[in-house]
Amino acid sequence: MKNVLVIGSTGQIGSELTMKLRSIYNGNIVAGYIPGCEPKGELLESGPAAVVDITNAQQIADTVEKYEIDTIYNLAALLSAVAEQKPQLAWKIGMDGLFNVLEVAREKKCAVFTPSSIGVFGDNTPKDNTPQDTIRNPRTMYGVTKVSGELLSDYYFIRFGVDTRSVRFPGLISYVTPPGGGTTDYAVDIYYAAAKGETFVCPIKENTFMDMMYMPDGLRACIEIMEADPAKFIHRNSFNIAAMSFDPQIIYNNIKKYVPDFEMIYQVDPLRQAIADSWPNSLDDTCARQEWGWKPEYDLDAMTRDMLGKLQERFKK
């Protein structure tokens, strides 16, 4: 793999993944963006960028052609809570957009990575140690697009041989680009509050467990699954991956070890709480470990030390 198009390169995952891909590969690593979300600074200066609106198949095809792209990272999406506010747009980006990407990939013979999510699971999925192959019955538009995306991606592999691969991401936590409109965002926001010396107002109830992952592990997953030898794959779209599971009280207590006067109060957001309640407490990622060697490096404490260190440094200035 040498020439890569990242669609959604200025978003939560894309902004970091594009830089990481550029540090690994010598080819064209193209930062695809939509007007209004232009790349800036290092992201703009370190490689090519192109306007690629996922809902515009021609723009995708032209960019793939121009830069001789062999791999597409399809990172355009609305996160779960905002997708409930704008379900029509969430479908347009998540499904019409994915269809455009897969059609271009079929014609131009590209591999495709599309992140899926813990959001594919719903109320009647086993909550603890959620298996790889189990009921996917979400009642959110985010989950509906992710399940449909998994099915469509597998279809393109089986029917047309398009090399589609995917992981089901937990909540991703990073100090670089904040997420927007997700249910797991609280686990990012809590670090910002702690580093700024503010009281954190938690929108999720105590005892609500969800899977989470530190971004460096998430980026490695994106790259390692695309580099993996597919001979061992039994699954493709999509693999459960996991790193840690906690509820608000556990992450708060962990941060308090390093910021002793940190305070948190609860003010539950009913929309986010309902979504969180429908998601698993913890995923079983055995298949990813066995089929392509997945292994997380960060646990909660290692993540907390790194997040607080980076953010405290930033807010000191």
Annotate each residue in 8-37 with x if it binds ligand SER (CB under 6 A) or - if it does not, as one string: ------------------------------
Q: Is 149 in the site for ligand SER (CB under 6 A)?
A: no
Q: Is 184 in the site for ligand SER (CB under 6 A)?
A: yes
72 versus 283: smaller Cβ distance to ligand SER: 283
Residues 101 to 140: which contact ligand SER by CB under 6 A? 117-119
Q: Which residue is nearest to ligand SER (CB)?
A: 182
d(CA 118, CA 140): 12
CA 132 to chain CA mean position, Å: 18
* Contact status, residue 238 vs residue 116, Cβ threshold 8 Å: yes
Q: Is 77 in the site for ligand SER (CB under 6 A)?
A: no
34 versus 275: smaller Cβ distance to ligand SER: 275
100 versus 140: smaller Cβ distance to ligand SER: 140
Q: Which stretch binds ligand SER (CB under 6 A): 159-167, 181-189, 244-252, 257-265?
A: 181-189
Does residue 142 carry a catalytic annotation?
yes
Q: Which stretch binds ligand SER (CB under 6 A): 182-190, 200-208, 259-267, 296-304?
A: 182-190
Active site residues: 142
List interacting residues with ligand SER (CB under 6 A): 79-80, 117-119, 142, 169, 171, 182-184
